[in-house]
Amino acid sequence: MSQLFQEAIIISILASTIRIMTPLLFSAMGELITQRAGIWNMGVEGTMLTGAFAAYLVATATGSLWLAVLAAVVAGALMGIVIAFMTATLRVDHFIAGLGLNLLAGGLTLYWFQSYIQGRPQPIFSGFQDVAIPLLSDIPVIGPVLFSQRALTYVALLVVPVVWFLLYRSRYGLELRCLGENPKALDVKGLSVSARQYAAVMLGSAMTGLGGGFLMLGFSDRFLADFTAGRGWIVIVALIAGNWRPKGVLVAVTAFAFLESLATHLQVVGAQVPHQLLLALPYLASIGLLMGLRFRSGQPARLGIPYARE
């Protein structure tokens, strides 16, 4: 293989790592906010799927990609209301609430999709294109990897420090983390636990929905059944692997995206490995990771435990 070809492959692997990573990053940061507030939302997959579908619907109906982004955010927030209602108001077991949401989302999106196309060939849209940042994108290697990406990719990378600041430097973040560690400590200060949980879950789910929407608008032109293909579960793994910290989650998501990108490229290069195995690589890595992980010091103490005063 020529030197040039090797370099091109490496750049391509890295660039696609970033591409794969960013939708996940929105969803993972959203789920981080949700879980830090004590709600173990298992409905990431369903929320992403709904976000993706809402984006598809609005993109094909109106032709406006930014309206489609808004639709994904709103759809996510609505899913958040459902989760918050079940966990904070009805105090249903968090896992059951989330799993129910996934089933609901899978069924509803398909149903809506069918009634939208009504047997006709499905409409397609043309999604976001790369936005090369002048000057920066001309830097060798780094330029094509980091500065020649979709617009939302830049936003996603900014979301990490923003979430970090929200969690650790703002008073809302302190209250939000308190919800996950010991909601009673807020309750005895006279603050409403459930109002704050609603707010956190809605914000978190809106970001999760945005992740699904970006997946649709950035990397596809049509809707398919089970469009998110297990990415929601990867987000949950990333949260555990990242020990519930923004930086850790960023690293975990990057590692997952890198493996997936590597797997795709190895196929293209024609490595002598069954391609099913390559595709399964990131998922196998996640399973291995979860089995090996005992380090859960960052897990919020009251994560997944419904709060009741009496």
Partner 1 sequence: MSTALRVEGLTKRFAGVTANDDVDFDLRRGEIHCLFGENGAGKSTLSSCIFGFYRPDKGEILLHDQPVHIASPMDAIRHGIGMVHQHFVLVPEFTVLENIIVGTQRSGWRLNAAEARQKLKGICDGYGIDLDLDAYVWELPVGRQQWVEILKVLYLDAQILILDEPTAVLTPGESRVLFDIVRKMCARGMSIILITHKLVEVMQSDRVTVLRKGKVVATLDRPETTPDELARLMVGRDVFFTVTKPELAPGETILAVEGLSARGFWGDAVLKDVSFSVARHQILGIAGVAGNGQKELFEVLCGVRRPAAGSIIFKGEEVAGMSPRAMMDRGVGHIPDDRFREGLVPEFSVAENVVLGWQRNPKYCKGPLMDRDAITGLAREMIGEYQIATRDEHVAAGKLSGGNAQKIIIAREFLHASGLVLANQPTRGLDVGVIEYVQTQLLKKRAEGFAIVLASEELSDLFNLADLIAVMFKGEIMGIVDPRTVTVAEVGVMMAGRRGETAASKKRVSA
Contact residues toward partner 1 (CB under 8 A) are 169-172, 174-175, 177-178, 181-182, 184-191, 301, 309-310
Q: Which tokens in the block code for residue 25?
A: 């990053």
Considering beta carbons, is residue 184 or 247 the nearer one to partner 1? 184
At residue 298, φ and ψ (nearest 5 deg) are -85, -5
The H-or-E segment that residue 149 falls in is strand 148-150
Closest approach, Cβ 169 to partner 1, in A, equals: 6
Closest approach, Cβ 303 to partner 1, in A, equals: 12
Considering beta carbons, is residue 59 or 200 the nearer one to partner 1? 200
Considering beta carbons, is residue 37 or 82 the nearer one to partner 1? 37
Q: Which residues contact 268 (CB under 8 A, 6 or more apart)?
A: none
CA dihedral 165, 248, 193, 72 (to 10 degrees): 80
Considering beta carbons, is residue 91 or 265 the nearer one to partner 1? 91
Considering beta carbons, is residue 231 or 302 the nearer one to partner 1? 302
Closest approach, Cβ 181 to partner 1, in A, equals: 4
Considering beta carbons, is residue 183 or 306 the nearer one to partner 1? 183
Angle subtended at Cα 221 by Cα 219 and Cα 231, rounded to the nearest 5 degrees: 45
Closest approach, Cβ 308 to partner 1, in A, equals: 12
Closest approach, Cβ 171 to partner 1, in A, equals: 5
| CA dihedral sign, ordered 88, 167, 101, 241 | negative
CA distance 37 to 201: 8
Q: Residue 55 burial by CB count (10 A; 0-12/13-18/19+): exposed, middle or buried?
A: buried
Closest approach, Cβ 124 to partner 1, in A, equals: 42
Considering beta carbons, is residue 191 or 285 the nearer one to partner 1? 191
Q: Read off the DSSP letter of residue 89.
A: I
Closest approach, Cβ 310 to partner 1, in A, equals: 6
Q: Are 218 and 11 in contact (CB under 8 A)?
A: no
Closest approach, Cβ 43 to partner 1, in A, equals: 26
CA distance 1 to 7: 10
Closest CA to 186 of 39, 307, 32, 34: 307
CA distance 138 to 146: 11
Considering beta carbons, is residue 177 or 265 the nearer one to partner 1? 177
